[in-house]
Amino acid sequence: MLVIVAPGQGAQSPGFLQPWLEDPTFRARFDWLSTVAGVDLVRHGTESDAETIRATEVAQPLLVAAALVAALEVLPKPSEGRALVGAVAGHSVGELAAAAGAGVITAEQAMVLVRERGRAMAEAAAVTSTGMTAVLGGDRDEVLSVLGQHGLTPANDNGPGQIVSAGTADQLAALADAPPAKARLIPLSVAGAFHTEHMQPAVGHLAHLARSVSTHPPRTRIISNRDGAVVDDGREVLDRIVGQIASPVRWDLCLSTMADLGVTGLLELPPAGTLTGIARRALKGVDTFALKTPDQLDDARAFVTKHGEA
């Protein structure tokens, strides 16, 4: 069984779209989504530096657009492609790309929502100095206990040995001074404490907009970040994505669901690498494919055929 996943914020790197935009079809589709979002994503995906694309209002539409257009390169005929895909999932903002891929919303609706999501989260992050730090290794129970002692939220539970903590700058500094035993801390290059109570103002804004968005039942299984559940109602999918802005991402539970469904192959859309790395540790024996550059497309299509359900 094939699962296709879309990465979240932090996966982007300067110039990652340069080779993709050399293809006229990819370029035309990407230009269209850039126009819908009202952001010069071509420039940000080719010329902008790391600090510029770190900005939430830039990174989020950039990632969703890249995943959506790359998916059309892998599966040129979506109706036939969906028959091959056993499930889709997205990490954090990647859920919007997954929802569009599953037919819950259109690509254009996804781009409008991600534009507003990025702006609203950037505004929420500007209120208080907050951030995120990855905690690698250590005993899980001890890690969670130490985070609680410092008032931090386990904002991303990504599976064995990787929990991302989030909170104020002071709380993260306290964690750095007194980390869990046998754990390594890596401060992340993000603009705020995403998936925590600090993002609640953004939830209200997106919820208001989402009420006017028409939804459809998923044409492919879609696995939710909230609890790893397979959600079969389009409105619930969108409501969960909105609420997730201020709630932890349980990617560990998404991985458990994939295992329960019998996944044999996991393909990550660009900018790929993060989620396939996690899957290699958590889903032993499952083939993974990190789609990073267009010269991999033939191999990616062969991977889809190998693991596809049809």
- Looking at the fold, whether 93 and 10 belong to one and the same domain comes out as yes
- Looking at the fold, whether 285 and 212 belong to one and the same domain comes out as yes
- Looking at the fold, whether 164 and 218 belong to one and the same domain comes out as no
- Looking at the fold, whether 269 and 201 belong to one and the same domain comes out as yes
Q: How confident is the model at residue 160 (pLDDT cuts 50, 70, 90)?
A: confident
| pLDDT given for residue 310 in this prediction | 56
Structural domain tally of the chain? 2
- Looking at the fold, whether 291 and 146 belong to one and the same domain comes out as no
- Looking at the fold, whether 214 and 279 belong to one and the same domain comes out as yes
Return all residues near 20 (Cβ < 8 A) that are at least 6 apart.
26, 30, 45, 66, 69, 70, 270, 293, 294
147: in domain:
yes
310: in domain:
no
Query: What is the pTM for the complete model shown?
Result: 0.95
Render pLDDT for 182-232 as a digit per residue (tens, 0 to 9): 999 999 878 899 999 999 999 999 999 999 999 999 999 999 999 999 999
Q: How confident is the model at residue 124 (pLDDT cuts 50, 70, 90)?
A: very high
- Give the whole-angstrom CA distance, residue 220 versus residue 104: 9
CATH number, domain of 261, equals 3.40.366.10
Q: Which residues face 154 on adjacent strands?
A: 165
pLDDT of 64 strictly over 80: yes
Residue predicted with more confidence, 68 or 81: 68
Over residues 161-172, the mean pLDDT reads 96
Q: Which residues are catalytic?
A: 92, 195
- Looking at the fold, whether 209 and 74 belong to one and the same domain comes out as yes
- Looking at the fold, whether 113 and 226 belong to one and the same domain comes out as yes
308: in domain:
no
Please list the alpha-helical segments (H only) found in the chain: 24-37, 41-46, 50-54, 56-74, 78-84, 94-101, 107-125, 140-149, 169-177, 200-210, 234-243, 251-261, 274-282, 297-307
207: in domain:
yes
| pLDDT given for residue 77 in this prediction | 78
Over residues 69-93, the mean pLDDT reads 89
- Looking at the fold, whether 114 and 135 belong to one and the same domain comes out as no
pLDDT, mean over the chain: 95
Q: Which two tokens stand for residue 80?
A: 């036939």
Render pLDDT for 2-40 as a digit per residue (tens, 0 to 9): 999 999 998 999 999 999 999 999 999 999 999 999 999
Structural domain boundaries enclosing 9: 2-125+196-303
